[in-house]
Amino acid sequence: MSKSRPVIFNNNVLRDGHQSLAATRMRTEQMLPVCEDLDNCGFGALETWGGATIDSGLRFLGEFPFDRLDALKKACPKTDHMMLLRGQNIVQYAHFPDDVVEAFIKASVKHGMNIFRIFDALNDPRNMEVAIQATKKAGGKAHGTICYTSSPVHTIDKFIELGTRLEAIGADAIVIKDMAGLIPPYRAKFIVEGLKAKVNIPVWIHTHETAGLGAATYLAAIDAGVDAIDLGVAPFANGTGQPDTTRMLAMMENHPRKPDWSDENVERMKRVRAHLEGVYQELSDFTSHKNEVVDSDALLYQVPGGMLSNFRTQLKEQKMEDKFDDVFREIPVVRKALGWIPLVTPTSQIVGMQAFLNVKFGRWKQISPQAADIALGYYGVTPADVDKEVQGLAAKQAGKDPITCRPVEAPGAEHKHMDDLRKELSNKGLPSDDEHCVIYAMFAPQLEKYYADKNKPSEAPAPKPVAVSTPAPVAASTTSQPATASSPGKVTRLGVSINGKRHEVTVEEVS
């Protein structure tokens, strides 16, 4: 019986931790030093990929996504690797044809991915079924994932009913995904107990500490018999991230379901934290104190941690920080009009953008194409009916009618299938294996830029003296690069953190 077995600890620091607290900017090279310790702690799974990491790595960090998966799998060979998959959206916002979804999953399994957490932003099982079946066919574990939210239409019975439906279409486990940290302890208890009474597969839960409920919710879920929980490692934990592993262990002291955690594991977690403290400083341009603390306003806004982190960064870049509160107060208004949809990628970003447009131009004066698509059924069936007036405005602005079919089968939809993608990549002189085809399907401009940058001739800049006028503690990392024709010596890029700010300098060794 699960109530008598130790609960399984998963760790999400290499994916959700930095997505929620540092705008998904952690590099693979910053992760590798902690992999051996994480791999030897006995976690049930390590979340290492998926979500926004594939987009961010390619777009901002110059990393080909499957290279990261290969590196992390090699560095953490003992523990199951886990990823977040947006069902028919894969890791993008649009719906992709079935053969592209299947090819992505097959390639991911080939590169070492074990567990696929498959969700749909609207909790529409039609958008999860292909991915669940493809995962099982490829030899992976398919976890049917319920996006938790609260609204007049999201009842405990409805969540349990969705769990039983996901089991029926082939899920190997059910995950309650509380992406915004909204689920109160006893509501979690009732949902877990209800699912455990109805399904014959494991039940896991995922939450955030955004509103200060996370660890207490985990304790209630553990008492109710949940099989596994997700944790982070400070400083990429707590706040908009998951509860910290060491903190959760302390909270479970003398609990009958506390995992058997050795002194050696405690030391491992200390080393992991020590390294990640330096990484957090290196990523200080993408962090915010507001993401590190409990914010009860999250119970009103219902916004996921990753969105909070990224949205604050985006508003800062646009010099519009003063509009943050106005935009977030508009989010519940938009959400209700669009059928009480959960807020998880991509709906959280879509609702956030529409809230911004409502504040900037007036309510519903300008509807984004994506918000219009939600109103018209192009993302799936919404939990409640869409406001008829808003749906009419959306149809007028978008120039198309509502649909009720599976979104990927919408009339007139044009999709690039695997053969089309392979041919297009070959014509561009780019690799055309399945890995490149599926990444190109989702992020074509970013993949082309990645190869354009990669194929540029390497030129070492002329050495320049570097002056640091303010004495401060400095954390440095070095990456050696081969000498080029114009540089007879070794070229080293130094990453330096000064007063919490990241600076990069290039130093040439001259003869």
Query: Which tens digit of pLDDT belongs to each residue from 92-131?
Result: 989 999 999 999 999 999 999 999 999 999 999 999 999 9
Angle between helices 434-454 and 418-427 (to 10 degrees): 30
* Contact between residue 53 and residue 88 where contact means Cβ atoms under 8 Å apart: no
* Non-local CB neighbours of 318 within 8 Å, separated by 6+ positions: none
Residue 413 has pLDDT above 70, yes or no: yes
pLDDT, residue 480, reads 34
Amino acid at position 484, single letter = T
Please tell me what DSSP assigns to residue 378: S
* pLDDT over 80 at 150, yes or no: yes
Give residue 304's pLDDT: 66
Mean pLDDT of 426-449: 98
Torsion, Cα 83 84 85 87, to 10 degrees, reads 140
Measured in Å, how far apart are the chain's first and last C-alpha atoms?
Answer: 69
Q: 201-205, 210-214, 292-296, 317-321: which has the minimum mean pLDDT?
A: 317-321
Residue 467 has pLDDT above 60, yes or no: no
Q: Residue 83: in which H helix or E strand, if any?
A: strand 80-85
Residue 431 has pLDDT above 80, yes or no: yes
Q: How high is the mean pLDDT of the chain?
A: 88
User: Looking at residue 320, what DSSP letter applies?
Assistant: -
Residue 425, both tokens: 């990549």
Rounded distance between C-alpha atoms, residue 497 and residue 477, angstroms: 9
Of 28-42, 182-196, 307-321, the one with minimum mean pLDDT is 307-321
Instruction: State pLDDT tens for residues 351-405.
Output: 988 998 898 889 999 999 999 999 999 999 999 999 999 999 999 999 999 999 9
Q: What backbone torsions phi and psi does residue 478 show, to the nearest 5 degrees?
A: -125, 145
φ, ψ for residue 479, nearest 5 deg: -130, 115
Q: Residue 254: what are its φ and ψ, rounded to 5°?
A: 70, 5
Question: Average pLDDT for residues 451-459, to the nearest whole number?
Answer: 80
CA-CA distance, 156 to 142, in Å (whole number)?
23
Per-residue pLDDT, averaged over 335-347, amounts to 90
Side chain identity, residue 350: I
- Collapsing DSSP to helix, strand or coil, 63 comes out as coil
Half-sphere exposure of 220 (CA within 13 A, CB side): 18
Residue 149's pLDDT band (cuts 50, 70, 90): very high
Burial of residue 318 (number of CB atoms within 10 Å: 0-12, 13-18, 19+): exposed
Angle at 277 between CA 273 and CA 281, to 5 degrees: 165
d(CA 297, CA 493): 42
Q: Which of 171, 163, 133 is nearest to 147 (CA)?
A: 163
Residue 330 clears pLDDT 70, i.e. is over it: yes
Sign of CA dihedral 359, 362, 364, 367: negative
pLDDT at 332 over 70: yes
The secondary element (H helix, E strand) that includes residue 47 is: strand 45-50
- Report, as an integer, the average pLDDT of 285-308: 80
What pLDDT score does 297 carry?
76
Cα dihedral across residues 496, 500, 502, 503: positive or negative? negative
Pairing status of strand 115-118 against strand 491-498? unpaired
The contacts of residue 289 (CB under 8 Å, 6+ apart) are none
pLDDT band at 511 (very low <50, low <70, confident <90, very high): very low
Nearest residue to 125 (alpha-carbon basis) of 139, 145, 100, 105? 145
> Which has more pLDDT, 495 or 195?
195
- Least-confidence region, from 39-48, 215-224, 490-499: 490-499
- Cα–Cα distances (Å) from 189 to 172, 186, 289, in that order, read 21, 5, 31
Q: CB of 184 within 8 A of CB of 191?
A: no
In terms of pLDDT, which residue wins out, 305 or 128?
A: 128
- pTM, whole model, 2 decimals? 0.84
d(CA 176, CA 183): 10
CB 149 within 8 A of CB 132: no
pLDDT recorded at residue 326:
85
Predicted confidence band at 458 (pLDDT cuts at 50, 70, 90)? low
Distance, CA of 221 to CA of 108 (rounded, Å): 31
pLDDT value, residue 484: 34
The residue among 467 and 186 whose pLDDT is bigger is: 186
Mean pLDDT of 296-306: 72
Amino acid identity, position 364: W
pLDDT of 469 > 50? The answer is: no
The yes-or-no verdict on residue 267 having pLDDT over 80 is yes
Enumerate the β-bridge partners of residue 491: 481, 508
CA-atom Rg of the chain in angstroms = 23
Name the pLDDT band for 325 (thresholds 50, 70, 90). confident
Task: Sort 274 into a burial class: Cβ within 10 Å, 0-12 / 13-18 / 19+.
Answer: exposed
Q: Which helix (H) or strand (E) holds 498?
A: strand 491-498
Respond yes or no on whether the N-terminal peptide bond of residue 461 is cis (omega within 30° of 0): no
Output the pLDDT for position 455.
82
Whole-number Å distance between alpha carbons of 294 and 257: 27
Predicted pLDDT of residue 348 = 85
Instruction: Summarize the confidence of residues 221-236 as an average pLDDT.
Output: 98
**Burial letters 368-394, b for 16+ CB under 10 A, else e:** bebbbbbbbbbbbbbbeebbeebbebb
Q: Tens of pLDDT along 479-494?
A: 333 333 333 344 344 4
Query: Residue 163 — very low, low, confident or very high, per pLDDT cuts 50/70/90?
Result: very high
The Cα–Cα gap between 268 and 265 comes to 5
How many CB atoms within 10 Å of residue 140? 23
Confidence band of 496 (pLDDT split at 50, 70, 90): very low
Please determine, for residue 55, whether its predicted confidence score (pLDDT) is greater than 90.
yes
* Residue 232: pLDDT over 50: yes
Q: Of 19 and 320, which is predicted with more confidence?
A: 19
pLDDT at residue 264 is higher than 60 = yes
